[in-house]
Amino acid sequence: GENVEQHPSTLSVQEGDSAVIKCTYSDSASNYFPWYKQELGKRPQLIIDIRSNVGEKKDQRIAVTLNKTAKHFSLHITETQPEDSAVYFCAATDNNDMRFGAGTRLTVKP
Amino acid sequence: GAVVSQHPSRVICKSGTSVKIECRSLDFQATTMFWYRQFPKQSLMLMATSNEGSKATYEQGVEKDKFLINHASLTLSTLTVTSAHPEDSSFYICSASGTSGVYDEQFFGPGTRLTVL
């Protein structure tokens, strides 16, 4: 089955800096890669996703890149703001079950 | 976006009792619903996948007789934790998808915090 690894587990940046979170997956059949933001005690919220036929996708300050050959994908947040502080999860699926990374706790210091 | 509700949001029960958690898709037909369990500061762990009208598919290590899942309609799935024990205390989150797979976005419920005394 699919196995998703996520790094780093914690990340602290200054407001305005960029943050990068990386994930690797094991199943080459995986074709959909969403990223979720989860604030304490709340449900995960989809912030961006990418499908296997695309290498990069951007939405304002958030971008995701996918390298199918290397089986890794990354989340990039530019111009970070304190409200970006949360736990971020990557996930991968091959149209069956979605597997999540362990999560990255991002702290943006004002 | 689509809305998924979950009830109750919090429940405290005594050891040995059963607890039912409901997950509803409010404005779309959820052909597939997923149940996750989340321990503090940990990731979401998929427990089972249920398709409307079919038996749920459980992940390895998840006891199907302990975690009963019913997906009787396109808008409702229930998770019943039977004979609950303190180790069952956790945050349970459901999600719903409007397709038969997960290729499209999953919409998450707000979660249910279960505490077993």
Angstroms from B107 CA to nearest CA on chain A: 8
pLDDT band (50, 70, 90) for residue A34: very high
Interchain contact, A100 vs B93, CB within 8 Å: no
Nearest residue to A26 (alpha-carbon basis) of A2, A45, A49:
A2
Q: Which of A11-25, A55-69, B100-114 has the lowest mean pLDDT?
A: B100-114
Angstroms from A68 CA to nearest CA on chain B: 17
pLDDT band (50, 70, 90) for residue B101: low
Task: State pLDDT tens for residues B13-67.
Answer: 999 999 999 999 998 888 889 999 988 878 899 999 988 888 899 999 999 999 9
Q: Fill in the amino acid letter for A29.
A: A
DSSP letter for B39, please.
-
Q: What is the pLDDT of residue B104?
A: 63
DSSP letter for A41, please.
T
Q: How far apart are CA A13 and CA A89, in angstroms?
A: 18
Q: How far apart are CA B11 and CA B19, in angstroms?
A: 8
> What are the residues whose beta carbons fall under 8 Å from the beta carbon of B84, sequence distance 6 or more?
B13, B15, B16, B17, B18, B19, B114, B116
Q: How far apart are CA A108 and CA A23, in angstroms?
A: 20
pLDDT band (50, 70, 90) for residue B97: confident
What's the angle, vertex CA B107, arms to CA A84 and CA A43, rounded to 5?
Answer: 45
The backbone torsions φ and ψ at residue B53, rounded to the nearest 5 degrees and listed phi first, read: 85, 0
pLDDT band (50, 70, 90) for residue A88: very high
Asked if residue A43 lies in contact with residue A37, where contact means CB atoms within 8 angstroms, the answer is no
Q: Which residue of B has its CA nearest to A48?
A: B105
Interchain CB contacts (distance < 8 Å): A and B: 51
Among B102, B104, B112, B114, most A C-beta atoms within 10 A, so best to mutate, is B102
Among B31, B43, B59, B112, most A C-beta atoms within 10 A, so best to mutate, is B43
